[in-house]
Chains A and B, each alone.
Chain A
Amino acid sequence: MKNEIVKEKIGFGVLLAATLFVVIPVLLIIWLIISKGWSALSLEFLFTMPRNGMRAGGIFPAIVGTFYLVITSIAFSLPIGVAAAIYLSEYAKDNLLTRIINLAIINLAGVSSVVFGLFGLSLFVVFLKFGVSIISGALTLGIMALPVIITTAREALRAVPKSYREVSFSLGASRWQTIRHSVLPHALPGILTGAILSIGRVAGETAPILFTVAAFYLPQLPHSLRDQVMALPYHLYIMTTQIPGIPENYRYGTALVLVGLVLIMNIAAVVIRSKFRKKK
């Protein structure tokens, strides 16, 4: 009996340790970038162009670039991803085609990001002649985000109780009317969760934008989707590896801005989500 209690306590301790082990890196990362980057934050840093070979001035074009890339890529991948999820969850029968599609989605999620970059370069930049531009980069990032959006949206749709569909059908609603009025409103919060996850991933990726959109040094704002932009993760990479003599707090400040930007966009999405939840 006593032996059982000891075993229980050891088991509990191991599980707790594992959980703490997950939390520690998160706290360390936040502590590191805040402690080393906070001193760089100023209105000048946030809202002016870089100067003196990026060793001074601000990171405004990179912030704007990353913001544009996130908005454009989500605007592309969210509708397509949700439409695909609706098809897979509500219309597709369990046959060979569906299984191949599901396999493709899983594999798409497993492709490394630099391969997405090469794919974007050859398809959007070269073949479709979009050039190195926001549109090429956003489409590349969007395709990379698709599996997450599709998978979370599909799970959200599947979690809607069967009885909601049944009662709608039993009232003579068509399949689409059932989805539109009875299923989608309930799945929307879950679908937005997928979008939130994607925002973080899209904002932070470097490899997919490397060949498709990111500018090394471009101290101006884009005028159209055909322009190149600077982006925060790539800017961070070049400041850290390519340019000697950059103050340390500039690099960590950039990381802090990147994390903060993702946080702000996520909060916006969470607010929208809770609005929908309340509406029910």
Chain B
Amino acid sequence: MKKIEVEHLNLWYADFHALHDNTMSIREKIITSLIGPSGCGKSTLLRCLNRMNDLIEGVRIEGSVKIDGEDIYQMKSGLTALRKKIGMVFQRPNPFPLSIYENIAFGPKVHHMAKAGELDGIVEESLKAVHLWGELKDKLGKSALGLSLEQKQRLCIARLVAVKSEVLLMDEPCSALDPLATLKIEELMRYLKTDFTIVIVTHNMQQAARVSDETGFMLLGELVEFGRTTDIFTRPKDKRTEDYITGRYG
């Protein structure tokens, strides 16, 4: 089942042509990774999927991105509904400088999703989904800034669970974490993919190989190759993909 379809997507930052005619489809409830050297456009492509590039001045986008069959660049309204459906996890864990409870409650509050009495339940469920409830249930009122980096990143994911996101876009979610925490977040991703469609951008090839079901390789704004992760890493079709995964590129 296709969740996201990107067709002939081109993007310019003013004069700079950052994405060249990208086409791919992302299947539901699997993990898709985007790999490639720095500056290849993988983060830019990821940010096209929830229209975060709209915030940058001078961006021009052509082509289409369909989510559940609806072109997100054609819909006039509903940008907030889109961002609710397509959640994003950033490179640096970025909890609000509020309490743990308020961090989770922020989304449901701005979307008026919950009556006052229901918030406690949402917070509990969301923290359980990211395996934080046991550690944190007694300090929900404490500032989220006091958590470890791994806990912060889990909390950021729990925030998305709380607004019932369907797609999780992860932009280098582990690059600020140590190897052990990285493995734990990957474990969480595998657990979450039963309910969520996950797209992860990473410059860590091993991570893509470990965690993802499908992989796209990007180079200089071009989506060179897209397919099953095992195929990309064992039988790449394109010479450039082969050069990259065997370490002959940056």
Q: Is the CB of B81 within 8 A of A172?
A: yes
Taking Cβ atoms with an 8 Å cutoff, the residues of B that contact A are 50, 52, 55, 57, 80-84, 87-88, 90, 92, 94, 96-97, 106-107, 110-111, 156, 159-160, 163
Per the bound structure, the CA–CA distance linking A172 and B80 in Å amounts to 4
Residues of chain A within 8 A (CB-CB) of B156 are 167
Per the bound structure, the CA–CA distance linking A171 and B83 in Å amounts to 6
5 nearest CB pairs, A to B: A172-B84, A172-B83, A170-B88, A172-B80, A173-B110
Q: Is the CB of B90 within 8 A of A169?
A: no
Total number of A residues with any Cβ neighbor in B under 8 Å: 19
Q: Which residue of A lies closest to B83 (CB)?
A: A172
Q: Is A163 an interface residue (CB 8 A)?
A: yes
Pairs A–B under 8 Å by Cβ, sample size 7: A166-B55, A168-B96, A170-B90, A172-B107, A172-B163, A174-B80, A182-B96
0/1 string, A104-119, CB within 8 A of B gives 1: 0000000000000000
Q: Which residue of B lies closest to A94 (CB)?
A: B57
A166-B90, A167-B90, A182-B96 in contact; A172/B55 too (CB < 8 A)?
no
Q: Is the CB of A163 within 8 A of B94?
A: yes
Q: Is the CB of A169 within 8 A of B94?
A: no
Residues of chain A within 8 A (CB-CB) of B160 are 171
Chain A stretch 5-37: residues in CB contact (< 8 A) with chain B: none
Q: Is the CB of A169 within 8 A of B106?
A: no
Q: Is the CB of B90 within 8 A of A171?
A: no
Q: Is the CB of B55 within 8 A of A169?
A: yes
Residues of chain B within 8 A (CB-CB) of A226 are none
Per the bound structure, the CA–CA distance linking A169 and B82 in Å amounts to 11
Chain A stretch 153-203: residues in CB contact (< 8 A) with chain B: 163-174, 177, 181-182, 186
Q: Is the CB of A167 within 8 A of B96?
A: yes
Per the bound structure, the CA–CA distance linking A93 and B107 in Å amounts to 27
Q: Which residue of A lies closest to B102 (CB)?
A: A181
Residues of chain A within 8 A (CB-CB) of B88 are 167, 170
Q: Is A2 an interface residue (CB 8 A)?
A: no
Q: Is A223 an interface residue (CB 8 A)?
A: no
Residues of chain B within 8 A (CB-CB) of A280 are 97
Per the bound structure, the CA–CA distance linking A273 and B111 in Å amounts to 30
**B168 shortest CB reach to chain A, Å:** 11
Q: Is the CB of B52 within 8 A of A174?
A: no
Residues of chain A within 8 A (CB-CB) of B159 are 171
Per the bound structure, the CA–CA distance linking A182 and B159 in Å amounts to 15
Q: Which of A94, A169, A177 has the most CB of B within 10 A?
A: A169
Residues of chain B within 8 A (CB-CB) of A167 are 88, 90, 94, 96, 156
Per the bound structure, the CA–CA distance linking A118 and B57 in Å amounts to 42
Per the bound structure, the CA–CA distance linking A166 and B93 in Å amounts to 12
Q: Is the CB of A169 within 8 A of B52?
A: yes
